[in-house]
Chains A and B, each alone.
Chain A
Amino acid sequence: MENSLILVIVILPLIGAALNGTVAATNAFRKKEIWGEKFAGILAFGTVATSFIISLYVVFVKMSGLESIACTPYEWLSVGGLQINLTFIIDHLSAVMLLTVTGVSSVIHLYSIGYIHGDESSVRYFSYLNLFVFAMLLLILGDSMPVMFIGWEGVGLCSYLLIGFWYKDEEKAMAGKKAFIVNRIGDFGFLLGMFLIFANVGSLTISNVNEFFYHHNSMTFFWTNVAGICLFIGATGKSAQIPLYVWLPDAMAGPTPVSALIHAATMVTAGVYMVARFHGLFLVAPVAMNVVLWVGALTALFSASIALVQNDIKKVLAYSTVSQLGFMFMAAGAGAFVIAVFHLMTHAFFKACLFLGSGSVIHAMGGEQDIRYMGGLKKYMPATYITFLLATLAIAGFPPFAGFFSKDEILWNVFASAHGSKIVWVIGALAALFTAFYMFRLVYLTFFGNFRGTREQEHHLHESPKTMTVPLMILGGLSVIGGWIGIPKLLSLGIFPNLFHDFLEPALSKYGHAHIGHYSHATEYGLMAFSVAIALAGWFFARKKFSDPKIKLEDPRNYTGFVKLLWNKYFIDEIYIKFIIEPLKSLSTNIFLNISDKKIIDGAANGSAAGWRKVATIFSYFQSGNMQAYGFYMVFGVAIAFILALFIF
């Protein structure tokens, strides 16, 4: 088979998951372990790292000069005109995702070895983590919507399993359930979009779909936009956008490496990837594009504002992730798919680094996540501090860190693109200001000042083991240099090529591209300077407010006004419970359970049973229990049969 290496990339994590899963299942029943967490960790890390190395080889050697390479190991189904193969395709877009996902996954698997050390079900943990990578690779490399959808559901499943990894804690199990259910709502939109596209295009292969919309779109304007919006609803579920973002902050109940891998770096970006994948469709659906743009912008601002006042270190990062995903959708909505994917990649680096850093902090604090009880950790854990700071600089948008290039380009595209809008630019800029502020607030409260926890915790503070700091350093380094492959021409004055743009642009402008308005270079430089000014302003405010070493933090219960609203996350969860969940529950119990189920369905079943019992009592009269009567019936029957046979037929 041609290019079977692609299959190897995909299958390796599956093998790891199967082996570790089997062992985890048997270990539970045996006293003696087949292998413990050490080997499980090495196996999981090994499979993913091998996948990463093979991916590097395939992307840079086998694919050089080619537009895409594909591999079809299995013909899945062929019904009528519908032919779906299990085809894996690597083009320039999926190559970027492939390298990001396998690369970040390898690093996080390595980190997990240190993090999960000592947990009784660590083998199970590694098997889930590997399974996740497998599903994610299906999602990225599948060349048709059903294969993509399997991956899409697979990552949702693994997300559920890993959020509820410590399922004995009911709150965590509930968080997993919430994530799964909210994702299902989004998936429903994705499915509807898929059906709509199939009904009109007659094919589910992604390139055919894009081709269709680019060349001979026979769908009406209305239905094209509906299809786009349906797909985007799928994306809002998976990528935690308004109105379906509520699961992501709760998802922080899972182990921290999981938050880093699934709920920051890879799975939640699947929605952005999907929108970029279907750019042929979105470019001819201006209303859908506008929805993407506005939802992205509002989410970015909304969740950044919530992150301003949260005290749980992981919650802040979770809302930050939601906000950054909003930025990506903003870019996609403005037609700048390349920039969306660029931000996706840089975000994967610095947000994974931030999460792993927070994991390291939580580890040192003995499970404490509240930043009000931290402070001054700088001198205890220097490696964590430095990498965390680098990633913070990156996410806040300081040049020359990775986040600066991508975020600045997003704002520029939103400002200048024909699909963009100036109002959205203002929203984006405000969200960027908030980002810088809450990130530096986090840094000041965690690493600066005096320690505010208990004496016992202070005594226990320590730097994390090597398996945890090395990944931090790798990701911290990438947060610094990761953006350099995408320096805009204007800034590098044409000295360095914009590698990322040149690599991805052909793949993402094949089916049309958004027009960038004409603006002078001065405007562009001005906006760039403005981005830097925003980042500086955020840092300045945070420093002014939180750098005092003896800072006294207010009790959240005393918050008033707008801060109280922010602290309570705009009461969105409460609103959902009151206006959606409670009515649904009462509808279910009062109508579906008590009337429809108990009265109609049970009534019909029990009623017919009772009716037949009545009929049967008539016949049971003949069954007197007297055997001789039965003999008589038989003789009588045979006699009738004889008579019929002899005289009638």
Chain B
Amino acid sequence: MFTISVVIVLFFLGIITFIFRRTLLHMLMGVELMLNAVNLNLIYFSRLHQNLEGQILSLMIFVVAACEVAVGIAIIVRLFKRTGTLGVETYTEERG
């Protein structure tokens, strides 16, 4: 039960970070937090059910997350070089 609580807290921290921090770098970190919460969840349930599938899946998620961070950071660096700021309010191109 403790682990589940940790997972939930971690996940919501990630969400809150994503929604309320105003810089892109922090938002990316929030995403990472959520991903790790999910990983933790998978590992916990894998242990609970006494099989390895969850752990293997979480290993794959590590790989994907690493790629995603690499790409995300690269984009963020380029954006910073272009505009000189990482404030999320600068980037409003998706306005409908």
Interface residues of A (CB under 8 A from B): 619-620, 622-628, 630-632, 635
Structural contact, B88 and A628, CB atoms closer than 8 A: yes
Question: Would you give the 0/1 interface string for B52-96, flagging 1 where the beta carbon is closer than 8 Å to chain A?
Answer: 000000000000000000000000000000000000110111111
Nearest residue in B to A638 (C-beta to C-beta)? B15
Q: A75 to nearest B CB, angstroms?
A: 57
Give chain A residues whose Cβ lies under 8 Å from the Cβ of B22: 628
Structural contact, B88 and A625, CB atoms closer than 8 A: no
A628-B19, A631-B18 given; A623·B96 CB < 8 A: yes
Structural contact, B88 and A622, CB atoms closer than 8 A: no
| Central interface residue in A628, A630, A632, by most chain B CB within 10 Å | A628
Structural contact, A619 and B88, CB atoms closer than 8 A: no
Structural contact, B18 and A628, CB atoms closer than 8 A: yes
Nearest residue in A to B15 (C-beta to C-beta)? A635
Give chain B residues whose Cβ lies under 8 Å from the Cβ of A631: 15, 18-19
Chain A interface, DSSP helix/strand/loop, else mixed: helix
Give chain A residues whose Cβ lies under 8 Å from the Cβ of B2: none
Q: A646 to nearest B CB, angstroms?
A: 15
Structural contact, B19 and A623, CB atoms closer than 8 A: no
Give chain A residues whose Cβ lies under 8 Å from the Cβ of B20: 628
Could you tell me the distance between the alpha carbons of A625 and B94 in the complex, rounded to whole angstroms?
4
B10, CB-defined interface residue at 8 Å: no
Could you tell me the distance between the alpha carbons of A632 and B20 in the complex, rounded to whole angstroms?
9
Structural contact, A624 and B95, CB atoms closer than 8 A: yes
Structural contact, B95 and A627, CB atoms closer than 8 A: no
Give chain A residues whose Cβ lies under 8 Å from the Cβ of B93: 625
Q: A632 to nearest B CB, angstroms?
A: 5
Interface residue tally of chain B, by bracket? 10 to 19
B27, CB-defined interface residue at 8 Å: yes
The 10 closest A-B pairs by CB, nearest first: A623-B96, A625-B95, A625-B92, A620-B96, A625-B94, A628-B19, A631-B19, A631-B18, A632-B19, A635-B15
Q: Which of B15, B91, B95, B96 contacts A619 (CB 8 A)?
A: B96
Q: Which of A622, A623, A627 contacts B91 (CB 8 A)?
A: A627
Nearest residue in A to B18 (C-beta to C-beta)? A631
Complex A-B: 6 CB contacts under 8 Å: A624-B92, A625-B94, A625-B95, A628-B18, A631-B18, A632-B19
Given A628-B88, A631-B15, A635-B19, 8 more A-B residue pairs with CB atoms under 8 Å apart are: A620-B96, A623-B94, A624-B92, A624-B96, A627-B88, A628-B22, A630-B94, A631-B19
Give chain A residues whose Cβ lies under 8 Å from the Cβ of B91: 625, 627
| Central interface residue in A623, A627, A630, A631, by most chain B CB within 10 Å | A627
Could you tell me the distance between the alpha carbons of A405 and B93 in the complex, rounded to whole angstroms?
90
Give chain A residues whose Cβ lies under 8 Å from the Cβ of B92: 624-626
Give chain A residues whose Cβ lies under 8 Å from the Cβ of B15: 631, 635
Nearest residue in A to B24 (C-beta to C-beta)? A627
Give chain A residues whose Cβ lies under 8 Å from the Cβ of B96: 619-620, 622-625
Could you tell me the distance between the alpha carbons of A635 and B91 in the complex, rounded to whole angstroms?
21
Give chain A residues whose Cβ lies under 8 Å from the Cβ of B18: 628, 631
Could you tell me the distance between the alpha carbons of A626 and B18 in the complex, rounded to whole angstroms?
12
Structural contact, A626 and B19, CB atoms closer than 8 A: no
Give chain B residues whose Cβ lies under 8 Å from the Cβ of A625: 91-96
Could you tell me the distance between the alpha carbons of A626 and B92 in the complex, rounded to whole angstroms?
6
Give chain A residues whose Cβ lies under 8 Å from the Cβ of B27: 627-628
Could you tell me the distance between the alpha carbons of A625 and B93 in the complex, rounded to whole angstroms?
6
Interface residues of B in 12-29 (CB under 8 A from A): 15, 18-20, 22, 27
Nearest residue in A to B30 (C-beta to C-beta)? A631
Q: A72 to nearest B CB, angstroms?
A: 63
| Central interface residue in A624, A630, A631, by most chain B CB within 10 Å | A631
Structural contact, A623 and B95, CB atoms closer than 8 A: yes
Q: A526 to nearest B CB, angstroms?
A: 96
Could you tell me the distance between the alpha carbons of A619 and B95 in the complex, rounded to whole angstroms?
11
Q: A619 to nearest B CB, angstroms?
A: 7
Give chain B residues whose Cβ lies under 8 Å from the Cβ of A630: 94
Nearest residue in A to B92 (C-beta to C-beta)? A625
Could you tell me the distance between the alpha carbons of A632 and B89 in the complex, rounded to whole angstroms?
15
Nearest residue in B to A628 (C-beta to C-beta)? B19
Q: Which of A619, A627, A632, A635 contacts B94 (CB 8 A)?
A: A627
Could you tell me the distance between the alpha carbons of A626 and B15 in the complex, rounded to whole angstroms?
16
Q: A631 to nearest B CB, angstroms?
A: 5
Could you tell me the distance between the alpha carbons of A626 and B27 in the complex, rounded to whole angstroms?
13
Could you tell me the distance between the alpha carbons of A450 and B95 in the complex, rounded to whole angstroms?
89
Give chain B residues whose Cβ lies under 8 Å from the Cβ of A622: 96
Question: Would you give the 0/1 interface string for B18-45, flagging 1 where the beta carbon is closer than 8 Å to chain A?
Answer: 1110100001000000000000000000
Q: A433 to nearest B CB, angstroms?
A: 85
Nearest residue in B to A635 (C-beta to C-beta)? B15
Could you tell me the distance between the alpha carbons of A630 and B15 in the complex, rounded to whole angstroms?
12
Give chain A residues whose Cβ lies under 8 Å from the Cβ of B95: 623-625
Q: A495 to nearest B CB, angstroms?
A: 98
Nearest residue in B to A620 (C-beta to C-beta)? B96
Nearest residue in A to B16 (C-beta to C-beta)? A635
Could you tell me the distance between the alpha carbons of A622 and B19 in the complex, rounded to whole angstroms?
16
Give chain B residues whose Cβ lies under 8 Å from the Cβ of A619: 96
Could you tell me the distance between the alpha carbons of A625 and B96 in the complex, rounded to whole angstroms?
7
Could you tell me the distance between the alpha carbons of A282 and B19 in the complex, rounded to whole angstroms?
86
Could you tell me the distance between the alpha carbons of A546 and B30 in the complex, rounded to whole angstroms?
108
Could you tell me the distance between the alpha carbons of A632 and B15 in the complex, rounded to whole angstroms?
9
Could you tell me the distance between the alpha carbons of A620 and B22 in the complex, rounded to whole angstroms?
23
Give chain A residues whose Cβ lies under 8 Å from the Cβ of B94: 623, 625, 627, 630
Q: B17 to nearest A CB, angstroms?
A: 10
